[in-house]
Amino acid sequence: MDVDLRHLRYFLAVAEDGGFSAAGRRLHVAQPTLTRCIRSLEDALGVRLFDRTTRRTQLTPKGQRLHDELVPVLRTLQATLDGIRVGEQLRLGFSWGLPDGLSLMAAAFAEEGDVRVEYVRCDTPLAGLDTGAADLALLRGDSLPKHLRGVFLYEERRVAAVPRHWTLAERDELAWEELAEWPLIVNTVSGVTFPHMWPADRRPVVGAECSNYDEWLEKVAAGLGVGTAPEDSTRRYHHPAVRFVPLRDAPTVRLHLAYPSHGSHPQAARFAETVWRDVSGGQLPAADSRVAAYGGGRATADGGTRP
């Protein structure tokens, strides 16, 4: 018999609401669609489930039996499905600099859907998406690779990171072009600042390379060069030998929440959309470092984002 859960759910709604009109309003289903579904169920079973007149819709004896025996079965099924979701984990990869307020969003998401968000630090180019260690990840960059989907959250202002013992650290502000005069510390794995971002005839030399944020910060502290970072991250990462100086005329850093285009965790897209909606609604704490309109864009089919 070609009977599915939709047939049974619609049947219970009509039986309990006493008619097709009331059931359609509760289910947000057009009455003709509901009528066709009940007729399909009756045809599949080969019995009449409702006696219909112009004034009322009433269960037949067979319909009453189906209702009485179906209710506990569907309750058991619903409890089983709900139980399967309990304890599910969604691994959120990051290299550094989690946005303020994200933990509150993750807690609300877990409470609503019984899916706990676990934070996984991964010092890889795609913050764990490239190794399978994460189900979705926070990525910084102008756009997403073609094999990823996701949402663009906002743009972050940059600040300069300079050794505190340098006279440069005494400045109240630095210009982007000034940094080309100093050696640059480059995080080759998860960094956002590279020599090619300056004009070809005025690029900084590489003072040192590293593979994660902690190493980057230590190399700046050691006086091997300067670097830049999103202003948001400076509230989470501090070093007594490094001073973060406001930076003028620097390109911003775009922040995305991404997941694989194919074979992703079933909850990854839902969480990304939830965060996107919260950011769009201003649920992240306000910060001067966020210079773009909240909720910059949704994912496109090819894995990029549109404004």
The per-residue pLDDT for 283 is: 61
Domain membership flag for residue 299:
no
The per-residue pLDDT for 285 is: 54
Place of tokens 């775009």: 254
Domain membership flag for residue 295:
no
Q: Are 111 and 145 members of one domain? A: yes
The per-residue pLDDT for 294 is: 34
- State in Å, rounded, how far the first CA of the chain is from the last one: 48
Number of domains present in the structure of the chain: 3
Q: Are 171 and 123 members of one domain? A: no
For the four alpha carbons of 22, 25, 29 and 30, in that order, the dihedral sign comes to positive
- Average pLDDT along the chain, 307 residues, taken 10 residues at a time: 88 91 90 92 93 85 94 89 79 91 90 87 95 96 93 94 96 96 96 96 96 96 96 85 96 96 92 90 53 41 39
- Give the predicted TM-score (pTM) of the model: 0.71
Tokens of 284: 């992240």
Please name the residues in contact with 2: beta carbons below 8 A apart, sequence gap of 6 or more.
40, 44
Q: Do residues 56 and 82 make contact, with C-beta atoms less than 8 angstroms apart?
A: no
Domain interval for residue 130: 88-156+253-280
Domain membership flag for residue 297:
no
Output the 3-class SS for the chain: CCCCHHHHHHHHHHHHHCCHHHHHHHHCCCHHHHHHHHHHHHHHHCCCCEEECCCCEEECHHHHHHHHHHHHHHHHHHHHHHHHHCCEEEEEEECCCCCCCHHHHHHHHHHHHCEEEEEEECCCCCCCCCCCCCCEEEEECCCCCCCEEEEEEEEECEEEEEECCCHHHHCCCEEHHHHHHCCEEEECCCCCCCHHHCCCCCCCCEEEEECCHHHHHHHHHCCCCEEEEEHHHHHCCCCCCEEEEEEECCCCEEEEEEEECCCCCCCHHHHHHHHHHHHHCCCCCCCCCECCCCCCECECCCCCECC
Q: Are 64 and 208 members of one domain? A: no
Q: Are 171 and 146 members of one domain? A: no
The per-residue pLDDT for 237 is: 83
Domain membership flag for residue 263:
yes
Q: Are 152 and 164 members of one domain? A: no
Q: Are 236 and 180 members of one domain? A: yes
Domain membership flag for residue 290:
no
Tokens of 86: 């309990």
Cα 158-164-165 angle, rounded to 5 deg: 145
What is the CATH classification number for the domain harbouring 31?
1.10.10.10
The neighbour count for residue 16, using CB atoms within 10 Å, is 12
The per-residue pLDDT for 97 is: 85
The per-residue pLDDT for 197 is: 96
